[in-house]
Each structure stands twice: as C-alpha cells, then as structure tokens.
C-alpha cells in the first residue's frame, strides 16, 4: 500500500522566515534529517489545503514511518532546498499494492507557500519523473485533490501528463465536497514494449 495519503497535489506551508527565492534550488535526495521540515510543510497542507484529504496532520514519528517505508521499497524521494532550507519535497510511491501494478507509481509534491509560482514544483516533478523512469517504472499517476487546484494540474500538464478524468465529490473537507483529478504520464517506453521482469506474469 502506498505510504502517503490520497488526494495528492501541490500544497504550501507557512514561511516564518520569509525567505526570498534568489538562487536556483538544490534538488537532492531526501534524508532523515529533512523530515522535521517535511512534516511542517505537510502539516500546513493538511490543516489549510485541499491537495491532501487527510484531516489530522501526522506527527514526525508517522512521517518517519512513511519515509522509511518508501526507502525500503526503493522509491525516489527528493527535497528542494534554498540556502540549506527545505522548501518542498516530492516522492513516488506504489500506486496500488498488488504486484501487477509494480511498474506504476503515484506521485506527491508539496511546497512551502513562500516559493509557489517560482518553478520549484516543476523542477521537483521533472527530477522525480527522470528518476522514476531510470528505475524502470513505466507509468506515473497523479491523484490531485480538488479540481480547482489549477496550479497542480498546470504543472502536471507541463510535464506531459494527460487528463484521465475526474471523480466528483469523493472527498469531504472544510465543510464541502471535493473532487479528485486523475492524470497519467507514460515514462520511457511506456506500454510500447514488455518489461524485462515478467516473472510474475
């Protein structure tokens, strides 16, 4: 089962230091030391955003458990840092737990609000796609919380994702019904060839 929540997309957390974006971000693999910042970014997304359908922010211990599960599954996980400060993160996880889905991943990207509209989400997505393709995955699924989430839909479109459809009114948060938008990207050879690993049929 995918360690992260459903209804994923871009979201933002408060920036107490009001850090200006003046230099290109460093996009690097996430480490355990990044988890407090990741937890804070996601907490804001849960409390104030509709990108995730979680209602109670997970604490550091739970975010560590999710991180460890992704790492043990050899999934890619990246952070964006500005002047050493983590301002966003992205990861790919299992789309579904059954083995026939093993060549498909689902993405998640979350950002600090101070750096939205700066292209950092796009850079995280591009790095995540490249790494997922390098690891042999053929399809990437985006489950975007809230059909009004134009920023996330736009970034996925720029990355080549196709619109698959909308599940209307499947979530309820902040006193209103929310849709989820499904988008999909074929990576590498996509479905044009069979994968080398066909042992499980």
Half-sphere exposure (CA, 13 Å, Cβ side) for 27?
22
Coil, helix or strand for 32? Answer: helix
**Over the stretch 94-112, which tens digit does the pLDDT of each residue have?**
999 999 999 999 999 999 9
**Over the stretch 16-49, which tens digit does the pLDDT of each residue have?**
444 454 588 999 999 999 999 999 999 999 999 9
Whether 9 has a pLDDT exceeding 80, the answer reads no
Cut 0.75: pTM above it: yes
Cβ–Cβ contacts within 10 Å for residue 116, how many?
Answer: 17
Position of tokens 């849709």? 179
Choose between 12 and 113: higher pLDDT.
113
Q: Are 103 and 190 in contact (CB under 8 A)?
A: no
């Amino acid at each position: 089962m995918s360690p992260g929540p459903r209804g994923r997309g871009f979201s933002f957390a408060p920036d107490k230091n009001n850090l200006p974006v003046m230099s290109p971000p460093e996009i690097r693999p996430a480490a355990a030391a990044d988890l407090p910042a990741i937890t804070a970014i996601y907490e804001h997304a849960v409390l104030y955003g509709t990108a995730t359908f979680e209602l109670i922010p997970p604490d550091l211990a739970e975010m560590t458990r999710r991180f460890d599960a992704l790492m043990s599954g050899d999934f890619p996980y990246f952070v964006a840092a500005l002047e050493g400060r983590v301002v966003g993160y992205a990861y790919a996880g299992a789309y579904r737990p059954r083995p026939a889905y093993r060549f498909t991943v689902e993405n998640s990207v979350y950002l600090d609000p101070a750096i939205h509209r700066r292209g950092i989400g796009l850079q995280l997505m591009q790095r995540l796609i490249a790494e997922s393709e390098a690891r042999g995955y053929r399809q990437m699924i985006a489950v975007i919380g809230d059909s009004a989430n134009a920023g996330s839909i736009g970034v996925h479109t720029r990355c080549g994702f196709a619109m698959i459809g909308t599940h209307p009114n499947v979530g309820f948060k902040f006193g209103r019904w929310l849709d989820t938008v499904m988008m999909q990207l074929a990576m590498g050879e996509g479905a044009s060839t069979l994968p080398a690993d066909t042992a499980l049929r």
